[in-house]
Amino acid sequence: MNYSFRKKNKIVKYIIIHYTGMKNLKLAYQKLSDSNSKVSAHYLITRKGVIYNLLCPKLKAWHAGKSSWKNYENINDLSIGIELENKGHEFGYSNFTNKQYNSLKNVILFLKSNFYIKDKNVLYHSDIAPNRKKDPGEKFFLNRIGVRREKHNNKHKEIQDINKMLSLYGFNKMYIKNYKKYCIKSVKRTLNYKRISASISKKFINDFYNLLFN
């Protein structure tokens, strides 16, 4: 199992939701527990709803890779990683199961109360590494686990500028500058769009606006 010790000044602030993106559970389990794989996560939740606690959340797992959110970098330092069994976009992306949602809900409730993690800090891998990652993807519904995204104060309400909206959403400014199209796709996944493109339609601006404010 790959892990590091958390630095004393880095407190756990985020939960990052992933999918395994592997052909089957056995391969995913092997990869997450193989010390040569250079990856690990704290929890793995199977399609049947079985929860594997692979690593103590007090330790740092290697699930996020190169990542940032707002002004924070190296999100592994600050987060707990949860993997959901799903073949992913590469091998046959499917809906998450009811049992998976139920188990995830329980794990998140436990983590939120033990680590004082706020709803707005339950994030996706695609939020913190939009240029590289699509998971958990457009078939994942946050409301199924009783978590609500951050809503912003009315003082920002005039904002219709896409860059400002992306920044308010939480993307790090480096991603907005260099990978804006990927950021837009990432938001569309969060909005559960069926077709994911980088185009900015009026409908998208409207949906994005509602995600941020209403």
Contact flags string 135-154 toward Zn ion, x per CB under 5 A:
x-------------------
CB contact at 8 A, 75 and 68: yes
Decide whether 79 or 212 has the Cβ nearer to Zn ion: 79
The Cα 170–Cα 156 span in angstroms is 14
What is the C-alpha end-to-end distance of the chain, expressed in Å? 42
**Which residue's CB comes closest to Zn ion?**
18
In the complex, the smallest distance separating the C-beta of residue 60 from Zn ion, rounded to whole angstroms, is: 16
Which residue in 18, 60, 185, 189 binds Zn ion (CB under 5 A)?
18
Decide whether 15 or 165 has the Cβ nearer to Zn ion: 15
Which residue in 31, 125, 188, 189 binds Zn ion (CB under 5 A)?
125
3-state helix, strand, coil in the chain (%, to 5): 40, 15, 45
CB contact at 8 A, 176 and 183: yes
Stretch binding Zn ion (CB under 5 A), from 114-122, 132-140, 186-194, 205-213: 132-140
CB contact at 8 A, 67 and 78: no
In the complex, the smallest distance separating the C-beta of residue 36 from Zn ion, rounded to whole angstroms, is: 19
Stretch binding Zn ion (CB under 5 A), from 10-18, 97-105, 161-169, 185-193: 10-18
- Touching Zn ion, residues 53-112 (CB under 5 A): none
Taking each helix axis as running N to C, give the angle between helix 202-213 and helix 162-169, from 0 to 180 degrees, rounded to the nearest 10.
40
SS (H, E, C) 110-124: HHHHHHCCCHHHEEE
83 catalytic residue (yes or no):
yes
Backbone angles phi, psi at 192, to 5 degrees: 60, 35
In the complex, the smallest distance separating the C-beta of residue 125 from Zn ion, rounded to whole angstroms, is: 3
Count of residues that interact with Zn ion, criterion CB under 5 A:
3
Q: Which residues bind Zn ion (CB under 5 A)?
A: 18, 125, 135
Q: Which residues are catalytic?
A: 83
